Amino acid sequence: MGRIFAIMSGKGGVGKSTLAAALAECYARQEMRTVLLDGDVGLRCADLLLGMQDRMIYDLGDLVEKNCPLEQAMVRHPSLSSLSLVAAPQMMSASDLKRKDMGRVITQLSDASDVLIIDAPAGIGRNLKNLLGAAAEPVIVATPDDVCLRDAERLSLLLTQREEPRPVVVFNRVNRRLVRLGEMRTPAQMAATLDMPLMGAVPDSPKVYRALLHHRGALHCGDDKVVSAIEHIAARLMGEDVPLERYKPSAFLSFFMEGGEA
C-alpha cells in the first residue's frame, strides 16, 4: 500500500488542485508509481491541469459503479509513464456516492501505486466527507488572508473531530515583498496560529496563471522559485529533512514605509 495524501482546502480558489497536480508530477518524475485522483465530483479539473482533457473515457464514477476495471480508469499521462489520472465524474453529485465505495476505490488505487494524491473537494461538505476515513494524510492548502485562514482552521477542526490524521499546511501565493514590509505574516507565523506543521510556501507568481491558461501545470510555468518550492514541499511530505525557505519581515523597510505614509 502506497502513501496517500489528501490535498484539501477550507475554501475554493486557493490553488489546491494546481498544487495536487504539481505534487503528482514531482513524484512521477522520481519514477514512483503515482496516481492523481480527482475527487471533486461534478467539478473535475485535474485533466485540464495535466493537459489530458482529450484522453478521458472512464472516471471515478465508473470505478464506484464497477463499470470498468481499475486499469481502464487509470489514464496514463502522455509523457510521464509513472503518472496516471483518475478523473472525477462530471454528471454525478456527492449524494450519488457512498463513503464505503469511495474507501474501496481509494484502497484499490493505493495498492496499485507508490503515491496516491487525492485532489479533495474544497470546503467541508458531503463531497469531502465521502473521502474521510481512507487513511489519507491531510495536506491543507491556504492563502495568507484571514478569510482563508479561518476556513483552514475550521477544516482542521473537522478533521480532528473525525479522528483523521493531524493535517499539515502549505501556503500558496505568498508575496515575499509584502512579508518583508510587514503587511503579510510569514508562513511560520501563520502555521503557528493554525497549530499545524508547515510543509512549505509557494511564492506568488503571475507565471503560474499564464501557464494554466495554456493547460500547463505549475512545474512548467518558468518560475524557478515556484518549481523549487513545490519540489521541496514534495520532499518534506515524504519525510525528507529539507530546510524551509526563509520569509522574514524587514524592520528597516517597515519603518521606512510607515515614515513615508506619515
Is the pLDDT assigned to residue 262 strictly greater than 50? Answer: no
Pick from 152-166, 220-234, 239-253 the range whose average pLDDT is largest.
220-234
Hey, what domains does the chain have and what are their CATH numbers? 3-261 (3.40.50.300)
Q: Name the residue with higher pLDDT: 136 or 22.
A: 22
Is the pLDDT assigned to residue 259 strictly greater than 70? Answer: no
Q: What is the pLDDT of residue 223?
A: 95
pLDDT in tens, 85-122: 999 887 777 667 777 888 888 999 999 999 999 998 88
pLDDT in tens, 202-227: 999 999 999 988 888 899 999 999 99
Rg (CA), the chain: 19
C-alpha dist (Å) from residue 38 to 78, 114, 122, 256: 18, 17, 12, 47
Q: What is the pLDDT of residue 261?
A: 40
**CA-based nearest residue to 24, from 68, 100, 62, 76:** 76
Model pTM score: 0.90
Cα–Cα distance, 73 to 88 (Å, whole number): 10
For range 238-248, the mean pLDDT: 93
pLDDT-based confidence at residue 53 (cuts at 50, 70, 90): confident
